[in-house]
Amino acid sequence: MRISIACVGKIKEKYLTQGIAEYVKRLTPFCRLDIVEVDEERMPDNPSEAQKQQALAREGDRLLKTIRATSYLVALDVQGKQWSSEELAAKFEALAVNGKSDITFVIGGAFGIAPQVLAAAQERLSFSRMTFTHQMIRLLLVEQVYRGFKIWRGEPYHW
């Protein structure tokens, strides 16, 4: 299975990059995982709503260009459906059984995720009603992908 994470911006904190790298390494037996980063729009200190929407649109266009046409697209969106880890594992299995071996998760930037990305997504996934930084959610996502594969394979999840 091929899993991609398309996201806005780069990770700046070392502890996050180390955590993400650890889970990417652990996922090697289960899938190929790629992380594709697109540039985050530069904004003034107090952007107007119009500037935010323009930035969202440009980031969304860049994100969509990275997504393969054959990929099953899951947008991370606070308004999305919340899945348990077991439901994520079941989703991986159901997609695989139906011949979908290419999944892309999309993480928006500081101002959210663009409407055109949401419109293109087959699913919208919410981790919580709480707000997380887009850098932090990337770590949480790779951990949950790893946990989902362990559950799907019936393997224990322990360090």
* Tens digit of each residue's pLDDT, the chain (159 residues): 999 999 999 999 999 999 999 999 999 999 999 999 999 999 888 999 999 999 999 999 999 999 999 999 999 999 999 999 999 999 999 999 999 999 999 999 988 999 999 999 999 999 999 888 889 999 999 999 999 999 999 998 765
- By CB atoms closer than 10 A (0-12, 13-18, 19+), residue 71 is buried
- Report pTM: 0.94
Q: Which two tokens stand for residue 132?
A: 């997380």
The answer to whether residues 105 and 76 touch, using CB atoms and an 8 Å cutoff, is yes
Pairwise CA distance, residues 68 & 71, whole Å = 5
pLDDT score, position 22: 97
**Residues marked as binding for S-adenosyl-L-methionine?**
76, 108, 127-132
Domain ranges of the chain: 2-152
pLDDT score, position 21: 97
**Residues marked as binding?**
76, 108, 127-132
Pairwise CA distance, residues 33 & 71, whole Å = 13
DSSP letter string over 43-57?
--SS--HHHHHHHHH
Phi and psi at residue 75, in whole multiples of 5°?
-95, 130
Architecture of domain 2-152: 3-Layer(aba) Sandwich (3.40)
With residue 17 as reference, give the H or E element that holds it.
Answer: helix 14-27
Pairwise CA distance, residues 1 & 130, whole Å = 30
For residue 33, the cross-strand partners are 3
